[in-house]
Amino acid sequence: MYPHNHGTRNNSIPGGCNGDAWKLHETNTFATKLKEDGYKTFYAGKYLNQYGVNAAGGPEVVPPGWTEWHGLVGNSVYYDYVLSNNGVPTHSDTLYLTDVISDLAVSFIETQTRNEPFLLVVSPPAPHAPFTPAPRHIGNYANVMAKRTPNFNIDTEDKHWLLRMPPIPLPTSMLTELDRAYRSRWEALLAVDEMVSAVFNALTNRELLNNTYVFYTSDNGYHIGQFSQVYDKRQPYETDIKIPLIVSGPGIEHNTTSSDPVMNIDLAPTILSLAGVQIPDSMDGKPIELFNKKDQVAKERFMLIEYYGERSPKTVDENCPWKYDKNLSHFEEMYDLNRDPYEMDNIIHEVFPALKHWYRLNVASMLECVGSQQCSDHLQLL
């Protein structure tokens, strides 16, 4: 579901993260539907920033839909964490979390047979900050630098106010920190690579791989130095909103790609569709066409990227000269990604007023859409 429908706006309980609205909607997920249909369901890793905290019931609470549950309490960490193992909180100081998740996943697969359907979800925090690699991987990318893309560390006169804040460009001393973060993220992902390999090997050993769909994706992109930003993930540019999606399984031709626009809200209906389970009307996404032919033309689709920020009174400086400027929350940018994949040239002022009005109507419409029919296909005509 889109955020305007599930009500989770930020990583706080009042903002919906493991709050009342979330607990209402988490009874209607692909996990609950598959479990109702006879699937064994397994989850290991990060769930929500506020999962397991006392204000949300503590780690004894196991979310609905999971036969076996190993949820990380709180935000992303690599050591000194608590896992809720089927509602039993277990603390670890020394075990590297990605390896623990990997071992749990392999152990689950080793108990499965071809006669019973199962769902396995593994959610390692890596490479979330603090970007801690496993000891065996420290230094593997010692000579790697952050990618110097065309939009790396450049002036941003045609972007919104935040990207125009000094220092622009970033000083050399700060670029060293960007390179360190970039290397650490790559190194933290090496344990994830090993986890993926371990899962595939376990599926192969149990003779399950040829009858299993595997989805590999992420929760967000990340900028490191683009448009003279340091590093984070909360901007509406391709670096932050575009994520990988790799799918394998029966009937999917190897080494094929699709340019169809899809979103993370499409994952749930896709999984249910593959399982032959009815898709709830409340889901805003639609099943991904996984069996496209190589020469199939991409379909046009309107999609909403929706983010409400994580502001609080502590984040506003009373002396900030932009405090009451409407541009803090309102700005317009438009990019032709076919011609300008790095979003260097904001063409909003080159667009006819009628076309801009048409886009505004569609954004307003999508901010109120409910269900796949409205959210996937609805648009206003000029």
Q: Which tens digit of pLDDT belongs to each residue from 44-63?
A: 999 999 999 999 999 999 99
Instruction: Give pLDDT, residue 330.
Output: 74
96 assigned to some structural domain: yes
Of the listed ranges 2-16, 190-204, 213-227, the one predicted with least confidence:
2-16
Q: What is the largest CA-CA distance in the chain?
A: 65
Q: What's the rounded mean pLDDT across residues 160-185?
A: 93
Whether residue 380 is predicted with pLDDT greater than 70 in this model: the reply is no
For residue range 136-157, list pLDDT tens digits in order: 999 999 999 999 999 999 988 8
In whole angstroms, give the CA distance from residue 326 to residue 56.
Answer: 35
For residue range 222-274, list pLDDT tens digits in order: 999 999 999 999 999 999 999 999 999 999 999 988 888 899 999 999 999 99
370 assigned to some structural domain: no
Tell me if residue 379 falls in helix, strand or coil. coil
For residue range 259-316, list pLDDT tens digits in order: 888 999 999 999 999 999 999 999 999 999 998 665 667 677 888 999 887 665 565 6
Tokens at 324, concatenated: 């009451």
Instruction: Give pLDDT, residue 307.
Output: 87
Geometric angle at alpha carbon 119, from 57 and 287, rounded to 5°? 100
- The CA–CA distances, whole Å, from 279 to 22, 187, 285, 348 equal 19, 38, 10, 38
- Match 């626009």 to its residue by tokens: 261
11 assigned to some structural domain: yes
> Quick check: 6 and 26 in contact, CB under 8 A?
no
Instruction: Give pLDDT, residue 313.
Output: 57
What Rg value do the Cα atoms of the chain yield, rounded?
22
177 alpha-carbon distance from chain centroid: 24
Look up the domain containing 229 and give its range: 3-298
Instruction: Give pLDDT, residue 382.
Output: 46
- Domain harbouring 73, CATH code: 3.40.720.10
Instruction: Give pLDDT, residue 161.
Output: 81
In whole angstroms, give the CA distance from residue 228 to residue 166.
Answer: 9
318 assigned to some structural domain: no
pTM for this structure?
Answer: 0.93
- Match 């896709």 to its residue by tokens: 270
Q: Which residues is 158 bridged to in the sheet?
A: none
- Residue 71: name the closest of 105, 101, 46, 108 by CA: 46
At 324, the pLDDT band (50, 70, 90 cuts) reads: low
73 assigned to some structural domain: yes
In whole angstroms, give the CA distance from residue 69 to residue 57.
Answer: 16
Backbone dihedral region of 57: left (phi > 0), alpha (psi from -120 to 50 degrees) or beta?
left
Average pLDDT, the chain: 91
- Range among 4-8, 13-17, 177-181 rated most confident: 177-181
- Total number of domains in the chain: 1
- Residue 10: name the closest of 248, 315, 380 by CA: 315
In whole angstroms, give the CA distance from residue 59 to residue 70.
Answer: 10
For residue range 123-141, list pLDDT tens digits in order: 999 999 999 999 999 999 9
359 assigned to some structural domain: no
Of the listed ranges 67-81, 321-335, 356-370, the one predicted with least confidence:
321-335
**Pair type for strands 214-217 and 68-72:** unpaired
76 assigned to some structural domain: yes
In whole angstroms, give the CA distance from residue 224 to residue 239.
Answer: 9
309 assigned to some structural domain: no
For residue range 196-212, list pLDDT tens digits in order: 999 999 999 999 999 99
